Structure 1
Amino acid sequence: MSNTSLTNVDFDPALIARHDRSGPRYTSYPTADRFIEGNIAPIFLEALQSRQVERPDADLSLYVHLPFCDTVCYYCACNKVATKDRSRADTYLDYLAREIWLVRKQFANTPRVSQLHLGGGTPTFLTNEQLERLMGLLKASFAFASDAECSVEIDPRRLNEGTLALLAHHGFNRMSIGVQDLDPEVQKAVNRIQPAEITEEVMAEGRKLGYRSINIDLIYGLPKQSVETMRATLGTVLTWRPDRIALYSYAHLPDRFMPQRRIESDDLPLPAQKLAMLKLAVTSLLAAGYVYIGMDHFALPEDDLAKALVDRTLQRNFQGYATQADCDLIALGVSAISRIGNVYAQNHRVLEEYYAALDRQILPLVKGLTMTMDDLIRRAAIHDLLCQSEIIVPVFESQWGVEFARYFAPELEQLESLAEDGLLEISSDRIFITPKGRFLARIVAMRFDRYLREAQTIARYSKVI
């Protein structure tokens, strides 16, 4: 497949409506709902020690979860703590310091970091002094590459004067700004009042400070939304020309996420209206020159994400699509998920339990999983489909030492119906997701998920579209 064909996409509403169903987002495989509760800490520590022997000079990726928000957005499904008390972040940093020390002492030499992401919650809930302390803790234990990709999630409503400059001083060069929707009635319905002028000012400041990639998050399917409100929101956002746009589908799961119970179900758009909003958004973004990266991500052609797609170096991790080569991830903070080699390990999701573990001077890990060889093979297949829209069979067989047609015989049989519908093309040496099937890549990837095939469903997933 040519590099240019990677960016081709054909939005087919009827096909999407026919195949839309619930499924994982595959920020990991196996997905986090497959993790097993138990004593994962010894396994995780063993993986760290193996890393010391097998790849001591390999770069690390760091993720820090900062859970605090001073207001609750009703649509949100993140692990967060609602409070207006900034001193709670001081306590949290005390415990982060303990966790960082417990991790750092596993390394003989200072590990080098090529990626850092601050997520939440609302990272900018922290005061400038607290952010300065956090960066001091990280830089005392890790060596950051001069070209490290450092990104932060920004809430323009909760941004202290000088915060962006402080972060830029510490090497931050990417930001993601939550917008969701600009219509006042929609904002009121989801409890996120955010005038467009505030977002525009933050973007302008970020560009002036040298942030080289600015992402805007949008959501379709929110209460009070319509094609008309979506058109108005897109019209404004496109004048800002963000480097990236993440266009998420709202998943209404009030039995799982308590804040969503404040959303009136009658205010939600019907499925046909939601699909029409998606069609409008996709058409508008493509017409404005954005490249469809995959799933819910768009980027300008000159952005690193679009370049990674064309260069076939695109990756996928817990933050979504990424540009750098796959590397081990150390994740810090409540609910954060690390991956070292073939081991996933997740921290306690409840703040008090996270603190209690660190009071005992042990890593605050509660569950995880050691990937089997089958998991690794399927993870690679899913990655290729979601990042490159194809599996090149001879290359895959050479990398993994399997006979593809025999190993994936049940999957290939299940793929036939998708091929008949035009989502993909199958030959002896390639599985290729067509431009018409790219918006349904998760549906194709799900065929390679052994846990789903064997009906080992644990979680309730969101709809693909």
Structure 2
Amino acid sequence: MSAPTSRLTPASPITPAARTLDRDALTGFRALAGRIDGNGPRYTSYPTADRFHDGIGEADYRTALADSSRGASAPVLPTGSPLSLYVHVPFCENICYYCGCNKIITRDHGRSARYVDYLAREAAQVAQALGARRQVLQSHWGGGTPTFLDEDEMRRVMAALQEHFELSAYGEHSIEIDPRVVDDARMALLAELGFNRISLGVQDFDPEVQRAIHREQSVAQTRAVVDAARRLGMRSISMDLIYGLPHQDARRFAVTIERVLEMRPERLSVYSYAHLPHVFKPQRRIDEAALPAPAEKLEILVATIEKLSAAGYVYIGMDHFALPGDDLAVAQREGKLQRNFQGYSTHAGYDQVGLGVSAIGAVAGRYVQNARTLDDYYAALDAGRLPVIRGFHMSADDHLRREIIGALMCNGVLDSAALAARHGIDFAAAFATELADLERLAADGLVDCRPGRIEVTPLGRLLVRRVAMVFDRHLREDAARRRALAGEAANEAVAAPLVRYSRVV
């Protein structure tokens, strides 16, 4: 396999902001989080997936793939630049009540055999539309549970990918695994197939919490997988934890953190549980009365940040942590960190192809998402069509704002003077409203705004989503529409008595 093709060097390198999280920042976070850290996007994309619409379809995707091959992506990438690749495997044998992923609960492995055939067909169609066998510098299998596939099915998927793409030996190739269903033999297979990173779902080791979310997984099962990965020479182990689950409190979650630190994974994601039973039906089985109060949930997070920082982990941002020598931490120090649909990444600047039911791709300025049901996914491929059902075509303004949001969330600093020069704009005039909003965040200590530079403070890094939201034009337009509708309703309420009086007259 060949070495990766280099990306174009940015016109103006950006020096990352200071990365220290001190006690003052955590104290300020406790005081501010409840007031200003409400619900908001995670910005794994901009615009966010809730902006996708059905006006984007297969024809748009084929045009995007052709543009990618011609080097017409934005920001401009050289012709034939490497790709990122996401493969979605939706099957799970058991349901986890907290889960909001697109999944299919089944013990019928015949369903996955058919699915593998269709994945191979989609890969062939995408590769044909690209017109050349492109290098893949980053790949990720997610789910669902990718390890639901048996050995033969995994080999067939990987063979199809290798037939149509060049999976670089220098790249990151990761897979999400369930430690409850993976043994030493399966781990050896993953290494043989070329996976060099694994992501483990843990959530919490407390038995009562596990029973409440219908996911019972022992420390021993998890440690066995970690030990196998290290024996096999895998480059990185990532663990996912969730705080805000039923029966959790800071003291009990600290015990889980201790067990995790004994295994010392290279990366950690500590996600906030969002209880949305009206959206995700399995969450209706969770006892709302057992969920921690907002103040306790905040304390769990703060205590976790303190504990991980003391253990030597670098706070990457949002909910990600990494050891100093991990590629994520190195990319952050060098100002090369980026975001994609998997969160923070070292190789997010390339076009991303998504394969499988509900998979999302980002190619040549278009976001595309596949059909969300197996029937629709299969029907499209049977008809010779790529199974895209919705997406979004970015404007020049979207590209500009994505660059701004990415700089703030990844590097913690925006060189607005350099950005203005690259794009030929007057930054202060173009973003006057946003700068006014930032001044209010500056008063709370989240940002430091100077001419030509916006820097996220240590406190602001803990609330960086709130900083990024300032530059989200779509959110701003939504708010303006709500205000207009509220104004219309108020005007109608005031006018109503006059209307009734005029009718009487």
TM-score (norm 1): 0.96
Contact 1:7 1:293 in 2 (8 A): no
Equivalent position SS for 1:18: helix
Deviates more, 1:101-110 or 1:231-240: 101-110
Deviation readout 1:353-398 (Å, 9 max, x if unpaired): 1111111110000001110001001111100010011111111112
* Mapped partners of 1:155, 1:350: distance in 2: 23
Match 1:370 to one of 386, 389, 393: 393
The structure 1 residue matched to 2:414, chosen from 382, 385, 391, is 391
- Return the offset for 1:170: 2.1
User: 1:351 and 2:374 equivalent?
Assistant: yes
The equivalent position to 2:45 in structure 1, one of 2, 25, 28, is: 28
Residue 289 of structure 1 aligns to a residue whose secondary structure is: coil
Q: Deviations over 1:2-44 (max 9, x none)?
A: 6571354522311222212010010000001101113521111
Mapping 1:251-400, distance limit 5 Å: 251-324=274-347, 326-400=349-423
- 8 Å contact from structure 1 (residues 148, 171) kept in 2: no
Q: How far 1:94 sits from its partner (Å)?
A: 1.3
Question: How far apart in 2 are the matches of 1:250 and 1:224?
Answer: 13
Instruction: Name the amino acid aligned to 1:52.
Output: S
> CA 1:349–1:325 in 2, change beyond 3 Å: closer, same or farther?
closer
Structure with the greater alpha carbon radius of gyration: 2
What displacement does 1:45 show? 0.9
Amino acid at match of 2:60: I
Most deviating of 166-175 and 267-276 = 166-175
Change (3 A) 1:153 1:399: same
User: Could you list the per-position Cα deviations for residues 75-125 of structure 1 after superposition, in whole angstroms to 9, with x for gaps in the alignment?
Assistant: 001000000111111010111121111111113321111111000000111
Pick one of 429, 437, 452 that aligns with 1:414: 437
Mapped to 1, the partners of 2:139 and 2:119 lie a distance apart of 15
Q: Which amino acid aligns with 1:5?
A: A
More displaced, 363-372 or 156-165?
A: 156-165
**Alpha-carbon contact 2:15-2:334 (below 8 Å) kept:** no
Q: Which runs of 5+ in 1 are unaligned?
A: 459-465
Alignment partner, residue 43 of structure 1: 60
Contact 2:83/2:351 (8 A) holds in 1: yes
Partner of 1:130: 153
Per mean C-alpha deviation after superposition, the further-off stretch among 51-60 and 293-302 is 51-60
TM-score with structure 2 setting the length: 0.89
Give 1:322's aligned amino acid. Answer: S
SS at match of 1:119: strand
Q: Alignment RMSD, CA only?
A: 1.5
Structure 1 position 6 matched with structure 2 position 19? yes
Q: Give the superposition deviation at 1:163.
A: 1.8
- Correspondence for 2:33: 16
Amino acid at match of 2:18: S
C-alpha displacement of 1:349:
1.0
Counterpart AA for 2:391 = G
Displacement of 1:457 in angstroms is 10
Count of residues paired in the alignment: 458
Amino acid at match of 2:47: P
In structure 2, the gaps of 5 or more residues are 1-13, 72-77, 482-505
- Summarize deviations over 1:252-307 as a string: whole Å, max 9, x none: 00000011010011010000110111111011000000000000000000111000
- Counterpart-to-counterpart distance in 2, 1:83 and 1:457: 45
Residue pair 2:17, 2:412 contacting (<8 A) in 1 also: no
Q: Contact 1:127–1:160 (CA<8 Å) still a contact in 2?
A: no
The one-character-per-residue Cα deviations of 1:422-462 (angstroms, maximum 9, x if unpaired) are 0111111111110011110000000100111111699xxxx
* Greater Cα offset, 160-169 or 286-295: 160-169
Between the aligned partners of 2:162 and 2:111, the Cα distance in structure 1 is 22
Alignment partner for residue 85 of structure 2, among 62, 68, 75? 62
How big is the shift at 1:324?
A: 2.0
Among residues 194, 211, 216, which one is paired with 1:171 in the alignment?
Answer: 194
Contact 1:74 1:191 in 2 (8 A): yes
The 5 Å alignment of 1:93-132 reads: 93-132=116-155
Q: Deviations over 1:21-70 (max 9, x none)?
A: 01001000000110111352111111211222224320011100000000
Secondary structure class of the residue paired with 2:220: helix
SS in 2 for 1:28: coil
- Structure 1 distance, partners of 2:364, 2:343, is 19
Preserved contact between residue 56 and residue 392 of structure 2 (Cα < 8 Å): no
8 Å CA contact retained: 2:183, 2:225: no
Aligned partners of 1:348 and 1:364 also within 8 Å:
yes
CA distance in structure 2 between the aligned counterparts of 1:283 and 1:275, rounded to whole angstroms:
12
Name the counterpart of 1:245.
268
Structure 2 contact 68–130 (Cα < 8 Å) conserved: no
